[in-house]
Amino acid sequence: MNESVTVAGVTVEPGERRDVAPAASEWYTGDRTTLPMAVLNGVDDGPRVFVTAAVHGDELNGIAACRQLLDTVDASELRGILMVVPIVNVLGVQMGSRYLPDRRDLNRAFPGSHSGSMAARIARLVLEEVIAGSDAGIDLHTAANHRFNVPQIRLDTSDEDSLGLAVAFGAPFVLDARLREGSLRAVAADRDVPVLTFEGGGPHRFDTDAIDVARRGVLRVLARLDMIDEAPPPAHESPMVLHESRWLRADRGGMLEMHVEPGDHVSAGQPLWTTVSPMGAEHNVHEAEEEGYVIGSTTLPLVQPGQALLHVALPGDRHPAEDDPTDEEDPELDPYDEL
C-alpha cells in the first residue's frame, strides 16, 4: 500500500485525488494569485511524477493536454503519485502573454525565492511543492510567438534512462538540448530530477494534433514507469533522436514563400524558401547547405534580414551546438524556444 502525501499543507490519502491551490503571489490589487494543481495519490507505491504546462502564458496546448490527462487517470488505479499543474503562469495566461506582468520570463526565474519578484516567488513555490521529491517530470510547451514547432521532446540524451522515457513518449523527434540557467528543467536537473520538455504547435491556440501527441506521450511515460497498466499507441512508432539543431535565417528581407513544411526531410541543395521584394523585382532563393529535418518554422509572411525562419535538426552523432553570442542578447534570435 502507498502512504499519504502532503502537498501545500493538504494531505492526500492513497487512492485519492485532491485539487489544491496554494498562494503564489499577489496581483496589483492585492488579490492572491494561486497555483492550481491536482494531486493524485495512488493506492500502491510507485514513482512520483509531475506534469506542468503554461510556464509561458501564451502556450496553451499543454493546458488542454493536462485536462485530458486528468479525465483519464484514476487515483484508485494509479501506482505512485502524479501531480498535474495545468497552468503554472496563471497571470500570463490571464493576460494572453508569454511573460508575467513585469515582463519577467518565468522559465528564467528558477530556483526563485520567497522574497523576490513575482516570478521568483512562483518559481520557488513550484520548486518546493512540485519538483522537490519527484522522480521525474514532463514540462509541456509550444513554440514562441510567430513560430510553430513539430511535436518533439527535448532533453539531455546522454542520460539513458531519460532517453528511454523520451522515446517511449512517441513524439516524432527527440532533440538533444542543453540546459538553460534559470529554467525549470535546469533546476530540476540540479536536484537529480530528469524532466522531458515537450514542444508542439504554436502560441495562442489549441493545436489538436500536438495536444494528442502530448496526451498520449504523458500516458505512455506513466506506463513505462509502471504507474498505470495501459497506454495508447504512440503517435509515432520510431521517434528520431537528433543531437544538433540550428535556426536558418533570412539572407534578404521581403515577402516569404516557403518551399518546405514543418516535419519535412530536406537535402543539401534543396530550395527552402524564397524572399521576394514587394515590387517583385528581387527574388532571393535560399538552399539547404546540408541534410536535416524541419522541426520548427516561422509563421510570418513578411521577414527581415537575419530573421530566424526554419529550425532544422541535423542527423549524425553530434553534440548540442554552442549558442551564437547574439542569441543571448536578443530573445527574438533565441534558437531554443523552451530553454
Residue 110: φ, ψ to 5°: -75, 145
> Distance (Å, rounded) from C-alpha 97 to C-alpha 120?
17
Residue 317: how many CB atoms within 10 A of its CB? 6
Q: How confident is the model at residue 317 (pLDDT cuts 50, 70, 90)?
A: low
Residue 21: φ, ψ to 5°: -145, 75
* The pLDDT of residue 29: 81
Q: Is the pTM of this model over 0.75?
A: yes
Residue 267 burial (C-beta neighbours within 10 Å; 0-12, 13-18, 19+): exposed
pLDDT(102) > 60: yes
Q: Are 42 and 83 in contact (CB under 8 A)?
A: no
* The pLDDT of residue 30: 80
Q: Are 151 and 297 in contact (CB under 8 A)?
A: no
Q: How confident is the model at residue 319 (pLDDT cuts 50, 70, 90)?
A: very low
Range 118-138 average pLDDT: 97
Q: What is the DSSP string of 297-339?
A: EE--SEE-TT-EEEEEEE-SS--PPPPPHHHHH-GGG-S-S--
pLDDT(2) > 70: yes
Lowest mean pLDDT among 22-31, 166-175, 263-272: 22-31
Q: Which residue in 109, 122, 54, 40 sits closest to 86, CA to CA?
A: 54
Q: Domains in the chain, start-ordered, CATH in brackets?
A: 5-240 (3.40.630.10), 244-325 (2.40.50.100)
Range 63-67 average pLDDT: 98
For the stretch 258-269, pLDDT in tens is: 999 999 999 999
Q: Which residue in 50, 67, 35, 78 sits closest to 230, CA to CA?
A: 78
* The pLDDT of residue 316: 73
Is the peptide bond between 111 and the residue preceding it cis, with omega within 30 degrees of 0? yes
Range 159-172 average pLDDT: 96
For the stretch 189-228, pLDDT in tens is: 999 999 999 999 999 999 999 999 999 999 999 999 999 9
Q: How confident is the model at residue 280 (pLDDT cuts 50, 70, 90)?
A: confident
Q: Are 284 and 209 in contact (CB under 8 A)?
A: no
Residue 25: how many CB atoms within 10 A of its CB? 19
* The pLDDT of residue 323: 40
Q: How confident is the model at residue 329 (pLDDT cuts 50, 70, 90)?
A: very low
